[in-house]
Amino acid sequence: MKITILTTFPEMFAPLHTSILGRAEKAGLIEIREVDIRPYSKNKHHNTDDAPFGGGAGMVMLAQPIVDAVRDVMGEHFEGKRIYLSPRGKTLTQADAEKYAAEKELILLCGHYEGVDQRAIDLCMDEEVSIGDYVLTGGELPAMVLVDCIARLVPGVLGCGESARNESFSSGLLEYPQYTRPREFEGRCVPEPLLNGNHREIEAWQFQESLYITLKRRPEMAIRYLQGIKLTKSRKKLIDAVYTRLNSEMDIGPEETEQLPGADRVQTDNVQSDPVTDSASDPDGADTER
């Protein structure tokens, strides 16, 4: 995959060429290049911005250097997406990152100051992407976030194929807690189910921890997940235990459980018997309805 970043601050991108992405670049899995917009300016002093029509604070980036830079880096046979990083864009999700990772080529435009002349966006951008509901001083950090998020999904970039799949957002739930040596640290022990080597128990524990943390921190995400799964008896049992835990922590009575997010999904009338998964815990989505 080839990613070209158009910016007036190419020196900001050194971190993208180190660590995992640096290694992936050396291995030829990804190609990341920064292109300075300034030399494309036909302006006497190679300016890249000017005051906004209609007045107001700040400067607006000129259309001409951007449009010329985009057309130049696209070449004759560009196949991919051109993305403008902006707080006005669609908020980036893991699903978007997966879609972009399947592209052959991406061109990212980093805006600065008060924004970019709308005509440059209309003439040569395909999509507008925001990395969250906050405003940064420019599109450089968002571009780095986007590149990192996409590049790690390119096959071979992460050492172990497992790590990109079995994690927050791709499974529909937030990730369960992880532990490593020692077994006890400052009086805190690694949870017992992780130590006994029983894979079914480990997976059940990880599923319950994922559901628990998602219900607490991202209830809307937990509800979406619960609505998408086929509720087998074994799975219902695991889910029920999570609700019981939340109940006891919140110190509420059983009648109030129904008000917990997604609790209506685990009522008995939703439960289907599944001869395969009811004999195994199968917590990891093998019986997911999609």
Which CB sits closer to ligand ADE, 128 or 284?
128
Q: With contacts defined by CB under 6 A, name the span among 1-9, 129-137, 162-170, 256-264 that binds ligand ADE.
A: 129-137
What backbone torsions phi and psi does residue 144 show, to the nearest 5 degrees?
-65, -40
For the chain, first and last CA: distance in Å? 29
Residues in Cβ contact with 241 at an 8 Å cutoff, skipping those fewer than 6 apart: 208
| Options 6, 16, 131, 153; binder of ligand ADE; rule CB under 6 A | 131
CA 207 – CA 199 distance, rounded (Å)? 12
Per-residue x/- marks for ligand ADE, 53-92, CB under 6 A? --------------------------------xxx-----
Which CB sits closer to ligand ADE, 57 or 135?
135
With the C-alpha atoms ordered 82, 84, 90, 94, is the resulting torsion angle positive or negative? Answer: positive
Rounded to a whole number of angstroms, the minimum distance from the CB of residue 108 to ligand ADE is: 10
Please report, as a single letter, which amino acid is at residue 266. Answer: V
Which CB sits closer to ligand ADE, 105 or 140?
140
**In the complex, which residue's CB is closest to ligand ADE?**
142
Residue 130 interacts with ligand ADE (CB under 6 A)? yes
Question: Helix, strand, or coil here: 132?
Answer: coil
CA 139 – CA 129 distance, rounded (Å)? 10
Question: Helix, strand, or coil here: 172?
Answer: coil
For residues 121 and 67, is the Cβ–Cβ distance under 8 A? no
Which CB sits closer to ligand ADE, 41 or 130?
130
| Options 29, 59, 63, 136; binder of ligand ADE; rule CB under 6 A | 136
Rounded to a whole number of angstroms, the minimum distance from the CB of residue 141 to ligand ADE is: 8
Q: Where are the beta strands (DSSP E) in the chain?
A: 2-7, 31-36, 49-50, 60-61, 80-91, 105-110, 127-130, 184-185, 188-189
CA 109 – CA 35 distance, rounded (Å)? 10
Which CB sits closer to ligand ADE, 144 or 239?
144
Rounded to a whole number of angstroms, the minimum distance from the CB of residue 137 to ligand ADE is: 7
Residue 142 interacts with ligand ADE (CB under 6 A)? yes
Which CB sits closer to ligand ADE, 129 or 246?
129
For residues 147 and 97, is the Cβ–Cβ distance under 8 A? no
Residue 135 interacts with ligand ADE (CB under 6 A)? yes
Q: With contacts defined by CB under 6 A, name the span among 45-53, 72-80, 100-108, 126-134 that binds ligand ADE.
A: 126-134
Tokens of 110: 């980093």
| Options 15, 39, 132, 161; binder of ligand ADE; rule CB under 6 A | 132
Which CB sits closer to ligand ADE, 111 or 172?
111
Rounded to a whole number of angstroms, the minimum distance from the CB of residue 103 to ligand ADE is: 19
Which CB sits closer to ligand ADE, 132 or 161?
132
Q: Where are the beta strands (DSSP E) in 62-170?
A: 80-91, 105-110, 127-130
Can you give the binding site for ligand ADE, defined by CB under 6 A?
A: 85-87, 130-132, 134-136, 138-139, 142
